[in-house]
Amino acid sequence: LAKTTQPISMDSYEGQEVNITCSHNNIATNDYITWYQQFPSQGPRFIIQGYKTKVTNEVASLFIPADRKSSTLSLPRVSLSDTAVYYCLVGDVDSNYQLIWGAGTKLIIKP
């Protein structure tokens, strides 16, 4: 089983901020949180990675509370092109490749 739990699907509208929460109650001390985005017929694309507090890049922000048992991916001002599946992974960065991926969150952006 995957170490994470995410909503199966979410809907939002263009221009809105979208927050996708991932639960990882059994996160270990050495574990990082990584998010990927995947469009149909393409491979996943790395979005953001963090260990604690807040990480921001040009695409998204990642909020991690002090207990690290959950995390929230925040996508500002989404557009139709943000419609995709978003995966949350939790694991040691040196062995991330072995992680079990869940089904992700299918995000649908409406006009």
Contacting residues toward other proteins, per CB under 8 A: 2, 34, 36, 41-47, 49, 87, 93-94, 96-104
Q: Are 3 and 17 in contact (CB under 8 A)?
A: no
Nearer to other proteins, 1 or 66 (CB): 1
Nearer to other proteins, 12 or 34 (CB): 34
Nearer to other proteins, 2 or 10 (CB): 2
Residue 3 φ/ψ, nearest 5 degrees: -85, 0
DSSP state letters, 50-92: ESSEEEE-SS-EEEE-TT-SEEEEEESS--GGG-EEEEEEEEE
DSSP state letters, 18-51: EEEEEE-TT--TTEEEEEEEE-TTS--EEEEEES
Supply the minimum distance, in Å, between the C-beta of residue 73 and other proteins.
Answer: 13
Supply the minimum distance, in Å, between the C-beta of residue 41 and other proteins.
Answer: 7
Supply the minimum distance, in Å, between the C-beta of residue 20 and other proteins.
Answer: 15
Supply the minimum distance, in Å, between the C-beta of residue 14 and other proteins.
Answer: 26
